[in-house]
Amino acid sequence: MKVVFYEEAYEELKYAIDFYNEISLNLSEKFKKSISDKIAQIRLFPYSCQKFFGDYRKCILLKFPYAIIYKIENGTIYIIAIANTNKKPFYWKDRK
């Protein structure tokens, strides 16, 4: 399945990578691998992650406080947010 990032989600991803890069290059690389692995999982098994808000699904990263929020429409996976789970929940819900 094709994966498309919302612009806001891409910006959140870049921000998180930069944040971890300032702490440690190694930590940043682990975060990028974790995101990459989860997106690969979502691409192969798009319905495997928890459905939790309407048609939105949430795939939680195991070692980082982030979740990938996405929806599936017309055979395409739309990444809505790379959500920090310590932030206000559902801040992303008005993204269209």
C-alpha–C-alpha distance, residues 18 and 92, integer Å: 21
Predicted pLDDT at 92: 64
Looking at residue 39, which CATH number applies to its domain? 3.30.2310.20
- Total count of domains within the chain: 1
* pLDDT tens readout for residues 41-65: 999 999 999 898 889 999 999 999 9
**Does the residue 95 lie in any domain?**
no
Domain with 26, as residue range(s), is 2-83
Handedness of CA 29, 35, 38, 42 (dihedral sign): negative
**Does the residue 89 lie in any domain?**
no
Segment 62-88 shows an average pLDDT of 94
**Does the residue 94 lie in any domain?**
no
**Does the residue 52 lie in any domain?**
yes
**Does the residue 48 lie in any domain?**
yes
Predicted TM-score of the model (pTM): 0.89
Segment 9-16 shows an average pLDDT of 96
**Does the residue 90 lie in any domain?**
no
